[in-house]
Amino acid sequence: MLEKIDHADDIVELRLDRPPVNALNPALVKHLDEAIAEAQVAGSRALVLSGRPGLFSAGLDVPELLELDEAGMARFWKAFFGLLERIARSDIPIVTALTGHSPAGGTVMAMFCDYRIQAEGDFRLGLNEVQVGLVVPPVIHRALVRLIGPYPAERHLVAGEMIPAEEALEIGLVDEARPCR
């Protein structure tokens, strides 16, 4: 579900490994939250969140989440927003290596990191929740405004379109683009 890779200079990479699309379910959210906490306690100097080449994360595992009862869904949302808070409040830098496509929840997770590197190529990312009838929670809306500004954020959320990686770089949704290794 999650591969831990130790790099030089006490940098730890946490690679999402939940085939086929690294969809975020309760177990992956829990593993990721625990791995970030452990890396911080272990003295890591920085964390990198990544996926496999071509796909960072397809976002939330909606089919699995729809099987949860009301209490299970409440636990999931608490855990997911707790993960976002852990990322945002981290004492060490957390970088997202967007290794490919990253719709919805994948982009959301990246927005709470300190820095976002997008793989170059014909990849798309963004918040497409309105396309499937979901409302973007206020904390996620504010995170998007922080990155790209109020008007561009409003336009992005109203359209709910996945945007090309090049455009994400132009508007500030990602900080840089690099070839994926």
Residues marked as catalytic: 60, 105, 128-129
Angle at which helices 150-159 and 138-148 cross, to 10°: 130
49 closest CA partner among 103, 101, 11? 11
For every residue of 39-104, DSSP letters joined together read HHHTT-SEEEEE-BTEES---B-HHHHHTS-HHHHHHHHHHHHHHHHHHHT-SS-EEEEE-EEEET
Beta strand 124-126 pairing with 100-103: parallel
Distance of CA 51 to the CA centre of its chain: 10
16 closest CA partner among 43, 38, 27? 27
